[in-house]
Every structure is written in C-alpha cells, then in structure tokens.
Amino acid sequence: MLKLNLTDFSLEHFMANYWQQKPVVIRQGFGNFEDLISPNDLAGLACEEEVESRLVYKKDDQWQAEVGPFESYERFGKDGWTLVVQAVNHWSPEVAELVKPFAFIPKWRLDDVMISYATPGGGVGPHIDLYDVFICQGSGRRHWRVGDLGEHRQFAAHAALLHTDPFEAIIDVELLPGDILYIPPGFPHEGVTLEESMSFSVGFRAKSASDLLSGLADHVIDKELGKTLLTDPKRPIHTHQGQINSSDFTLIKAQLQSLLDDELLVADFAGSYFSKTKCALDLQALDEPLTATEVADALQQQALVRTGGLRCFYVDATVAQGVCYVDGERYAFGPALQAAVIALCDHDELSHDQLHSALQDAAFAKQVSEWVNAGFWYFQD
Ligand code: SIN
Ligand code: CO
C-alpha cells in the first residue's frame, strides 16, 4: 500500500498552510515510487472508445491537440509529445491505489487520477487548472515551473488547449520519481519532460455556484420537486405597474430560498450529484448472476471491492434513515442499516464482519447482489 511521507511538515501543517492556498513540492512523498501502469498499457487504454485521452504536441511551432481513441503512435516520433489519459483509476486497480494516500480529503472532492506519458521535450504548455492537483512523478525527470495567482490572460493555443501567457516562477524544480508537486486552482504552471517520463495527477475538483445551481435545477426537475406556486393573497394595490417592488422581490427570493432551506432536498441533491461519475466506469457485469445468499456466502471467503472510480456517499441529514447515494442514485435501507451504509461508503474494501449482520436484511442483501451482478462491487480473487 502506498504511503505518503511528509518530512518537511505534518499533514496538519499542509492542510492549514498549503491546501487551497499555495503550491508546494513534497520531495520523496512516495519513497521508491514505481509507475503504477506501464507506458504501453497506458497507450493501450487510450485506444479504447470509453477512455478519455488527448495527445499534445507542437508542429511548426504551433500547439496541436488530438482527442483519442488512438490507433497507433508511430507518427509522433521519439520526442516532443505527451499522451494524457483521464480517470485511469477507473480502469486499473493498481492506479486506483494512488487515491488511498489522499484519504485525508473526502472522496466527494476527488475528481480522478490523470496520467501523462511524455517523450523528451514534451508538455501540454503553460496553463491554469480549476482544480487542486497532486502531480506525482513516476519514471523519468520532469522540469516544473509554477507561477503565482494573478491576472493571467488565458487563450486557446489550439481549439482543445487553453493556455496562459508566460509567467514568472515562484517554484522552479526538477521532479524525480516519487516527488510530488501540489498545485491549488488558479496557479499557472508548466511541466516539460527532460526524458521519457510518467506523471500521475490526483485531481480534486471544486464546483462553482453556477455548477451547483444547474445541478440542483436538474435534480428538482427530475424528481418533480419545488412545484408549489408563489402566492400573493391580500396583495396591496400596486402603484407602479412596471416595478418588481421590494416586497415582491422578497417574495421571489423566498420562493427560491425555500428549496435551499429544505435540508432533505439539498441532502438528496448533494448525495446524488456528487456520486455521479464524470468518466465511464469499467463495470464488469457477471455472466452468471449471483443470488443474495451466494453473495453473502462468497463474502465469507473474499473481500468485496468497490470498482475503481465508483462514487458512493452518505450525508449526515439522511444517514440515520440508512440512506446512501451510489453512482447518482438514492438508496434507502432504513435506520437499522445505518452502520452498513457508512461502511459501504467509507471503505473501498468490505469484509464479512462489516456486512454480515446487514446482509440478514433481505432488501439490503438483494441490492448488494444487484450491485455485484452489475459490477459496481466485485469479489477479490
Ligand atoms: C501533465 O501531466 O502532462 C499535465 C498535468 C498538468 O499540468 O495539469
Ligand atoms: Co495542469
């Protein structure tokens, strides 16, 4: 199991002074770090339809970006190009292990593990990201420059590449295998690989109010909520027909606010919204479905493992009712199943001890077997 080694400061110090505040290099954050996937296997994944990937290079000094799937890489030559593959933790259990050392940040903030393979001189150019990222250096050396927050112009260097102007570096380092560079959102940065190299980026995404409101609107429409009409009985005589006066404005705001004040509605929205995945999952449905009893029996021998990238959460406002949210759906198992629901969401692997008594509940056992049959959880051989 990968362990994060902090030698210059404690985790508490990192969270208080760097997380979401400033970039920092964590030298040898992973001791003896080895690539969690080979460049060949990464290149193979980028040939798959369901996997999101991009190839970035320069031609006649102009930035170019191509979107996968790719058929072959021969035409790209020996240097100057980078292959970036998104959500590799969904496709490789070994890569999914890289999420575990970052468990000090909740999973609802996690985005994915993006991996890049670059040939000498390769990089994606100077840019700004909207997420926090821990860039873990795998094989090879890479030169990184990070600039400060500020007014950085952004522009499309290519239709699929948003770049920023050259910037002054506040961090200018060469990363070696096992080193980690943490960059919060908004800091311009650029990595240029010095030799064939692999970078493993664990990304954490935050949502804007506009993202959340649009998600809430979708949720409210889907679930047919918030249908109560705005009412204004005993309205006083209006004098300025064209005016939305202050008491009407208060009424409109109150109508909107009533949704946000509904704790259960917002809990169900947050659970469903954050448990949806952005990229496809590698769901291996069983050819021969198991019954609930067979699942309970198998759990006596083998651990039940959550498929990489599958998101499941509980929210304090509803967990007492045994409610959890899995891959965008709400499941309610009742108060007696609260501990099982918490175990299901908190742990990537579940043992017989953790689920045994909950599996006596027919509805829960049936749902777990449906999840196993659909490939959401699988038995470790
Ligand atoms: C890369 O790994 O090539 C790009 C990572 C980044 O700068 O976000
Ligand atoms: Co970046």
User: Which pairing describes strands 53-59 and 24-26: parallel, antiparallel, or unpaired?
Assistant: unpaired
Report pLDDT for 1: 85
Contacts of 345 (CB under 8 A, 6+ apart): 312, 313, 314, 324
The pTM of the whole model exceeds 0.85: yes
For residue 199, give the ligand 1 atom closest to its CA.
2
User: Which tokens sit at 63?
Assistant: 């930035």
pLDDT above 80 (res 381): no
Which positions ≥6 away from 50 have C-beta within 8 Å?
280
Q: How far is the CA of 189 from the centre of ligand 2 (A)?
A: 6
CB 325 within 8 A of CB 273: no
Give the model's pLDDT for residue 380.
87
The number of residues making up the chain comes to 381
Contact 135, 189 (CB under 8 A): no
Distance 209 CA to ligand 1 centre (A): 26
- Cα separation, 135 vs 133, in Å, equals 6
pLDDT band at 18 (very low <50, low <70, confident <90, very high): very high
Q: What is the pLDDT of residue 36?
A: 98
One DSSP character per residue, 66-127 reads EES--S--GGG-SSSEEEEES-GGGT-HHHHGGGGGGTTS-GGGEEEEEEEEE-TT----SB
Helix-helix angle 362-374:292-301, to 10 degrees: 80
- The full set of domain ranges for the chain reads 11-204, 209-261, 292-379
Pick the CATH number of 11-204 from 3.10.20.30, 3.30.750.24, 2.60.120.650, 1.10.10.10: 2.60.120.650
Which atom of ligand 1 lies at the shortest distance from residue 124's CA?
3
Determine the pLDDT at residue 349: 95
Share of the chain above pLDDT 90, in %: 98
Average pLDDT in the chain: 97
Res 95: pLDDT: 98
> Are 28 and 4 in contact, with CB atoms under 8 Å apart?
no
Q: Which ligand is nearest to the CA of 88?
A: 1
**Mean pLDDT calculated for residue range 265-283:** 97
Task: Provide the token pair at 180.
Answer: 């980690």
Pull the structure tokens for residue 79.
């240097």
What one-letter code names the amino acid at 191? G
Beta sheet of 81-85, edge-to-edge order: 24-26, 180-183, 131-137, 197-205, 110-118, 81-85, 53-59, 62-67
pLDDT at 262: 97
Residue carrying the six token digits 């609930």: 292
Dump pLDDT digits (tens) for 20-77: 999 999 999 999 999 999 999 999 999 999 999 999 999 999 999 999 999 999 999 9
> Which residue of 143, 199, 205 sits with most ligand 1 atoms within 8 Å of its CB, as the best mutation to test the pocket?
199
Residue 101 CA to ligand 1 centre (angstroms): 20
200-210 pLDDT, tens digit per residue, is 999 999 899 99
CA 23 to centroid of chain Cα atoms:
20
Protein residues whose CB sits closer than 6 Å to any atom of ligand 1: 82, 84, 116, 124, 129, 133, 135, 189, 191, 199, 201
Q: Which CATH code is given to the segment(s) 292-379?
A: 3.40.366.30
Please say whether the beta carbons of 189 and 126 come within 8 A: yes
pLDDT digits (tens, 9 = 90+) for 152-167: 999 999 999 999 999 9
| Pocket residue to mutate for ligand 1, from 114, 134, 146, 167, most atoms within 8 A of Cβ | 114
